[in-house]
Structure 1
Amino acid sequence: MMRYLSSFILALTALTHGAWAVTYPLPSEGSRLVGEPLTITIAPGNTQPLEYYAAQYGQGLSNILEANPGVDPFLPAGGTTLIIPQQIILPDTVRQGIVVNVAEMRLYYYPPGGDTVEVLPIGIGQAGRETPRNWVTKIERKKEGPSWTPTANTRREYAREGRELPAFVPPGVDNPMGLYAIYIGKLYAIHGTNANFGIGLRVSQGCIRLRNDDIEWLFNQVREGERVQIIDQPVKIALESDGSRWIEVHEPLSRNRAEFESNKKVPLPMAQTLQKMAAELTVDADTFNEALTRRSGMPVRVDNQNAVLNPL
């Protein structure tokens, strides 16, 4: 069902840059928790799909669905309360250039010499056409008005679905790469789209897709040669200086087609740091285990001194 969601994105927000990016002041080194959760209520008589609200608050569809299980993605009812997951834990990696965490479908941009991080929701590669993981590369070049030459495999996939795909798609509004492309490595790009859906979903041929306002803003900020890192961290932790302990758990990406098509949950990677946190005497085991089970995509405080779950 997720692959067929459609949307109508309308610019009604006052987020920074005239785009959908969410800006966070960088915390001190060693701290990773930023932002605060936000709760909104959908107005009576709503006619907008959930994607509309995701775009309005700088989120991907998967981020909103993780935080609000059971909400109707096609037409959420008026009066529905939505949690907007704007509190996040920064990924455990260097704060430099572009960092893409495919597991949470977010792109982090650390401007050179700046004291902020810009967070953008993304769409990633389909199962079987994966976006690379655990990869460090750089911006090779930028192109306004990119063209697209689909691979033979891509054209065959379209043909099996009864769709004809041309061998070459010129620049323009009908190009699936949108109006801006940032090429990373030799084979992949961060680019826009010609369709108003797919952010927070596995929909691309392996590239990283952004909403059009987001890619235009990012295109104008980054420079050729800047560092790009792609990671896969479905579980992030924060050990804050005030003694609080937090975890943020996302649904891991399926590792193969069978997992992708299964209704069973993909197992969480129990990294050494997570195992160490679970063994700490200050961690509340019930809260910790509930967070691992719930997978809300939001930071959960797990230390037993005032340990609480964010509201569901």
Structure 2
Amino acid sequence: MRSLRLFSPARWLASVLLVAASVAAFQASANSYPLPPEGSRLIGQNMFHEVADDGGSLEAIAKKYNVGFLALLQANPGVDPYVPRAGSVLTIPGQMLLPDAPREGLVLNLAELRVYYYPAGKNSVTVYPIGIGQLGGDTLTPTMVTRVSDKRANPTWTPTANIRARYLANGIKLPAVVPAGPDNPMGHHAIRLAAYGGVYLLHGTNADFGIGMRVSSGCIRLRDDDIKALYREMPVGTPVRIINTPIKVSVEPDGRRLVEVHQPLSKAIEDDPKVLPIVLSEQMKQFQGAPETDAQVMEQAIRHRSGMPVEVNSHQDVADTI
């Protein structure tokens, strides 16, 4: 039985050469990519990072490359999230499949903890890691189809009664209104969504930790530079679609069959997203059952849940597997 592989040796060498030439450009241009050609959903490129002696935490590395914390953890299973071993080489998950959704406005996939922004009139997409609602009846971030209804710079924060009660249970008494400033957990910019009476926002944060995790009270958090860019570029009225899709597939124009699997969102505190079942849609079942797909390799990708595209062609060479 053949097992999962992201890169063949030849592709690995090509990737290393590409990474050496593109790291600076990647960091300088945020996470913006030209849209792929017709029929393709593949964008970006995975990169590699060697942990220095004083390399810091996984969160610091995630912030350097502007990827989410859990995305980096999934791409590097077994790594110490607090003190990654010096000299170890981490995979930076910069390659991805575009979600199966209209390429317009803002598309937010809860399961992959990313948001995709398609600016009007431009042949590009910008991808940002996000933090979303934590487990709890009133703290989940719901799926929705909506639009941007308002934008505010230097917003105040008016915590709900439930939020204030949760903070109080931890010994923190919140004021009725938190003014703008360094103590405001909404950061310097907020973008309001029209659905559900406007209670959900995209906003910044006054904490470095939590992007790419389930940490909020239902809103969508971004790093300060990211929300600042969205605030500047995205007009009121922009369509917004929030989905929850842990698995994406694509048949690329060159014949490659790709699957990208993320850990599904937990529904209860005792759930383990590493082993939670992933229910395949009819489209996914047809993709897996096609003679061009190696169903066993796809099953391995579903179990591994690396969050990165994996080739599952049935005619892959032995050299392309481990």
Match of 1:192 in 2: 204
Q: Deviations over 1:253-312 (max 9, x none)?
A: 0123443xx577221121111101111111112211110110000000001222689999
Structure 1 counterpart of 2:6: none
Amino acid at match of 1:223: P
Identity of aligned residues (%): 46
- Please list, as runs of the form range in 1=range in 2, the aligned pairs for 1:147-166 lying within 5 A after superposition: 147-166=156-175
Helix, strand or coil at the partner of 2:91: strand
Aligned pair count reads 295
- Summarize the Cα distance change of 1:264–1:298 in structure 2 as closer, same or farther, 3 Å threshold: closer
Matches within 5 A, 1:23-172: 23-43=32-52, 45-128=53-136, 129-133=139-143, 135-172=144-181
Code of the residue aligned with 1:113 in structure 2: it is: G
Tell me if the contact between 1:107 and 1:119 (Cα under 8 Å) persists in the aligned partners. yes
TM-score (normalizing by structure 1): 0.90
Shift of 1:142: 0.4
Q: Give the match for residue 179 of structure 1.
A: 188
Instruction: Describe the superposition over 1:94-134 as per-residue Cα deviations: whole angstroms up to 9, x where unpaired.
Output: 0000110010000100010111100000000011111111x
- Contact kept? 2:263, 2:273, Cα under 8 Å: no
The Cα shift of 1:31 comes to 1.1
CA deviation profile, 1:23-42 (whole Å, cap 9, x unmatched):
11101232101122111211
More helix, by proportion: 2
Give the match for residue 243 of structure 1: 255
The ranges of structure 1 where at least 4 consecutive aligned residues each deviate by more than 4 angstroms after the TM superposition are 13-19, 307-312
The equivalent of 2:10 in structure 1 is none
Aligned to 2:308: 298
1:57, distance to aligned residue in structure 2 (A): 1.1
Give the aligned partner of residue 288 of structure 1: 298
- The CA RMSD over aligned residues, in Å, is 2.0
Kept in 2: contact 1:287–1:307 (CA 8 A): no
Contact 1:300–1:309 (Cα < 8 Å) also in 2: no
Secondary structure of residue in 1 paired with 2:201: strand
Aligned-partner SS, 1:103: helix
Cα offset, 1:18, TM superposition: 5.8
Contact kept? 1:302, 1:308, Cα under 8 Å? no
**Aligned counterparts of 2:36 and 2:276: Cα–Cα separation in 1:** 32
Structure 2 gap segments, 5+ residues each: 1-22
Q: TM-score, normalised by structure 2?
A: 0.87
Of the three residues 231, 234, 238, the one matched with 1:226 is 238
Closer, same or farther in 2 for the Cα pair 1:263/1:107, shift >3 Å? closer
Distance 1:232 1:203 in 2: 17
Alignment partners' CA distance in 1, 2:208 and 2:28: 18
Structure 1 residue aligned with 2:16: none
